[in-house]
Structure 1
Amino acid sequence: MILIFIVLILIVYFTYQKINSTGNWPNVIGTTYHVPFGDVPAMQACLDGHYLLNLNTKLGKPQVYRIWVGPTPVLLLAHPDAVRQFWQQHDETSIERVVHLGWSLLLIMGEGIGFKTYRNRNRINRFFHACFGIKQVKYFETSYEYQIDLVMQRLQSRVIDACDTPLDVSSQFRYLALDAGLDMFLGTKSSRYLSQLHELVDELAVVMLATFNARYVNIPGLRWFIPYTYYLRSKILTLRHKWNNLLRIIMNEYLREDNIEIDADGDSILVRYLRMERIGRKKEITYEELSDTMIEGLLAPSDGIAATVANTLILLALNPEAQIEARERILNRLPPGIEKTVTLTDLDHLDHLDHILLECQRLLPLFVFNVPELTSCKMTLCGVTVPKETMVMYDVQTLNRCEDIWPKPMIFQPERFQLLNEKQRKALHGFGNGRSRRCLGENFVHSLHKLLIARILLAYQLEPVDNERDIDKLSRIRRPFIYVPRVVLKFIPIKN
């Protein structure tokens, strides 16, 4: 028994040494590997999302540094120069996207676009951009405007009922992304299933949060001996079953029509797919890719878009001069002396509202790191040489606060985006990174955010409840892979 115990100790010791050696890259600094999950428990326990930001400061603000995701060493890029050097050397077309982020996340996302290889991602991108391109998004502006009308009506009722009591801003926009995106994704026939779709959004949030918190169930082999594995797997499969059943019901409603073969500019993604099937055209995507990318693009973003709007309102409330400036710019776009509801057409080319969104994403990013990349070759980044297939991620908060890139980085200044230099343009990553890793709904989010912020600013003066001005001290709560504000604001109606 003693001999077996000694052998086991030696196996553990040499395994630990071997794992550590995989991250001993020349000139790198960072954390030490802690068995078995590395830095993951500390990131999960950090409720404000500042773990990487604080770690970078503790390490002396290096431009690159190492952390551990389980037994895998990860190089964090913490300066735009490191990001630029990475993309100069990295060939994303040559990498098969095999990033192990846990079986449960892969089971949720399935054949969705997020974890596809370069070529497959581009193929799916081309199909979805039939609705998501800049020109195509305009066909659905009436739908966005209608949904924001409903949001403003609910907000007005809440403000009246609250009687000057502050409101929790993020909760006001819980289903905005799904409601506004329905016509684009599923078409007008899907509106009668709105309550079921809202339930799916809530169920997805639950399983995504469970996936984010998962530890031992992600250890190969060991997970099959843990009862929670089977519970989580059952919850995910039940969610997927409900979604696919509902999607098939909506599909059958369209298939009963005779005119589905006729192209129309405002066709939804679902109708375009069904037309492709009916006329026997070569399939651009499979049903599984369609269904799973809709989970990723329609159901999953609800918390993220709600938090982005809430963050914007918080920053405007904390900066009353910026709020007044934005309101005046919007009013200048409207005909004088005529009472009307502002539309997206009124806001065409009002870049200042887009700049507010970019500044919001810079100061209060939802994601503290991006979807990982694997290096396509051996490369040197800011003096640190890493081998091929090293996992690389962005330290998003630190990147967004580099003083040599963003002067006075902690000040809310949307105007800084009017004239960007080359380094600043390369430092923008609010909607993804690389050539093919862009967010599918970027144009959709810009339109939705611009119109909603404009409507709110014309109707309400926003005021914070307390005197806290340090955005790092604002209350935040963790949602699946993102951090959202838990802040209340006063919505004071503007007369005339």
Structure 2
Amino acid sequence: MMMELAPWASFLAVVLATALVLVVTALYRRNRKSYKLPPGPRAWPVIGNLNLMGPLPHHSLYTLSSRYGPLMSLRFGLVPVVVGSSVDAARSILKTNDLAFIDRPRTAAGKYTAYNNSSMLWSPYDDYWRQARKLWQTELLSTKQLKLYEHARGEEVSAMLRDLHAESSSSSGAAVALSDHLMMASLNVISRMVLGKKYVVKGSSGSSEDTTTAEEFGWMMEELFFLNGAVNIGDVIPWLNWLDPQGYIGRMKRLSKVLDRFLEKVLDEHDERRRRDGEAFVAMDMVDKLLQLADDPNLKVPITRDGVKAFTLWAMTELLKKPEVLTKATEELDRVVGRNRLVAEGDIPNLPYLEAIVKETMRTHPVAPLLTPRQSREDTSVGGYDIPAGTRVLINVMAICLDPSVWDKPMEFRPERFLGSSVDVRGQDLELLPFGSGRRMCPGHTLGLKMVHVTLANLLHGFHWRLPDGVAAEELSMEENFRMNVLRKVPLEAAAEPKLPAHLYVGP
């Protein structure tokens, strides 16, 4: 008998669920009519405007904003969303009303990959976040702390150049996989600064109990960035969470276990050194400092990396497409640095054209084209429109970077636009926001800029670069992969020819 009733029970559950959805949607619409919302497309029941989002949401939102305006109202599932796509909208949200929009939405990614929203990225605006932000600014990523690790950054960049030199010399001018070398340099710098040593080694058979392979660590970081940027259906249609139709929550749980196992191993090693050294203990890295500063010695700190790899790859791509820009950059490096040494961080202030290339790359290929969503804490007015409390707020950085009212010929890659310009990337100039702005601005932006500048400078200074044989500039793929940050869809390969004395490529 129970076997016969089961289909009817399932059918009844579907009917009741559908009725509940329609009732909630109707109530939602009725309650929203009292607000003067920004213009936007009509939303479907249940799914809202999710049907308008393609695989590259920043492009979809850019297209919609051209029709509905720089401040646009949408709905993702049952969640109200407002998108700012202009300098004025960004200023209102990130500056004028920063406190009103400083909160973060509660997401599955924050729950499963950030220890229940305890990371700087997903933590709500509360005492915990304010204390964490203060620690990042004054202890973990202060000017003094970054200076202490300048040697580590220099050593890893030198090691990257050594490996590139060896590969390019043995391949007789064949293309090298630049992305692989950049990944190792980035992972090793972050590993040494945050964890105290290289926990990442090359090769699938090179790992031991206290290390992980580049492939394993790379997988953890790729999953972390993808899952923290993806739209999980259960976040916007809550009763679908248990179904996990996209499989994202399952992936988050798996990643959480792998990350936690790795971090526990790291923390155990640091705790053991603290116990062994006793009163003579000296903090050597960020984990040491966190364990000193935290009340709980078992605090788990999610590991993130900045956009070094992505910035540099996009810059190299544009330079390979524009040989005249590459020539100007190398001429500047030869004039300022010479051919008898590598580029040091202290050289960067004397390389204005290189800095212009970095800024133009951040404008034409913003690694975070959509800033991590904020959530309004209270009813707020922006540009004459109401934004109710609980609204998810997005800033489309890409739309601002392509705004012809802000940039002359915005589709062109032209570093010269920044020569003599006071426009900076540190959050004060709203037309260029690679790291965001306001209290929620990326705390690692100074480290990111140092790594981008010194890595790109040494790549250009140490090698003659060209496209692989048979590949024309117009054939070079510029497709993107969307995550929390945006990377090239097709890995960059280029031919490299060493141009400095051989002894300079001998890394640590």
| Residue equivalent to 1:38 | 48
Aligned amino acid, residue 36 of structure 2: P
Residue 233 of structure 2 corresponds to residue 215 of structure 1: yes
Residue 117 of structure 2 corresponds to residue 127 of structure 1: no
Cα distance in 2 for partners of 1:42, 1:483 equals: 22
Select the residue among 13, 20, 25 that pairs with 1:16. 25
Give the conservation status (yes or no) of the 8 Å contact 1:327–1:458: yes
**TM-score (normalised: structure 2):** 0.80
With 77-86 and 454-463 compared, the bigger mean Cα shift is at 454-463
Task: Give ranges in structure 2 of 5+ residues lacking alignment.
Answer: 1-7, 201-207, 501-508
Give the conservation status (yes or no) of the 8 Å contact 2:371–2:397: yes
Cα distance in 2 for partners of 1:490, 1:9 equals: 54
Give the conservation status (yes or no) of the 8 Å contact 1:205–1:480: no
Tell me how far 1:7 sits from its aligned partner: 8.2
Residue 213 of structure 2 corresponds to residue 206 of structure 1: no
Aligned amino acid, residue 107 of structure 1: Y
| Residue equivalent to 2:422 | 420
| Residue equivalent to 1:103 | 108
Cα distance in 2 for partners of 1:165, 1:138 equals: 37
Select the residue among 262, 272, 294 that pairs with 2:289. 272
Tell me how far 1:479 sits from its aligned partner: 4.3
| Residue equivalent to 1:142 | 151
Aligned amino acid, residue 31 of structure 1: P
Residue 476 of structure 2 corresponds to residue 491 of structure 1: no
TM-aligned CA distance change 1:7 to 1:262, over 3 Å:
closer
Cα distance in 2 for partners of 1:320, 1:22 equals: 57
> Which structure 2 residues correspond to residues 428-443 of structure 1 after superposition, within 5 A?
428-434=432-438, 436-443=439-446
Cα distance in 1 for partners of 2:175, 2:50 equals: 36
| Residue equivalent to 1:394 | 395
Cα deviation, 1:221-276, whole Å, max 9, x if unaligned, reads: 44335595874464134224312321223213422442664657xx31122234x3
Aligned amino acid, residue 109 of structure 1: A
Select the residue among 224, 241, 246 that pairs with 2:265. 246
TM-aligned CA distance change 1:492 to 1:104, over 3 Å:
closer
Tell me how far 1:112 sits from its aligned partner: 1.0
Cα distance in 2 for partners of 1:285, 1:439 equals: 24
Aligned amino acid, residue 199 of structure 1: E
RMSD: 3.6
3-state SS in 1 of match to 2:389 = coil
TM-aligned CA distance change 1:456 to 1:285, over 3 Å:
farther
> Which structure 2 residues correspond to residues 45-64 of structure 1 after superposition, within 5 A?
45-46=54-55, 50-57=59-66, 59=67, 62-64=69-71
TM-aligned CA distance change 1:95 to 1:120, over 3 Å:
farther
TM-aligned CA distance change 1:9 to 1:323, over 3 Å:
closer
TM-aligned CA distance change 1:394 to 1:469, over 3 Å:
farther
Give the conservation status (yes or no) of the 8 Å contact 1:309–1:453: yes
Cα distance in 1 for partners of 2:458, 2:486 equals: 26
3-state SS in 2 of match to 1:426 = coil
Cα deviation, 1:449-478, whole Å, max 9, x if unaligned, reads: 11111111112233345445599x722234
Count of paired positions: 471
Select the residue among 323, 328, 331 that pairs with 1:328. 331
Give the conservation status (yes or no) of the 8 Å contact 2:366–2:398: yes
Cα distance in 2 for partners of 1:33, 1:470 equals: 39
Residue 43 of structure 2 corresponds to residue 26 of structure 1: no
3-state SS in 1 of match to 2:386 = strand
Give the conservation status (yes or no) of the 8 Å contact 2:368–2:397: yes
**TM-score (normalised: structure 1):** 0.81
Select the residue among 308, 313, 316 that pairs with 1:313. 316
**Percent of aligned pairs sharing the same letter:** 17
Cα distance in 2 for partners of 1:131, 1:5 equals: 52
Aligned amino acid, residue 493 of structure 1: E
> Which structure 2 residues correspond to residues 345-494 of structure 1 after superposition, within 5 A?
345-417=346-418, 418-420=420-422, 425-434=429-438, 436-464=439-467, 466-467=471-472, 469=474, 474-479=478-483, 482-493=486-497
Tell me how far 1:439 sits from its aligned partner: 1.6
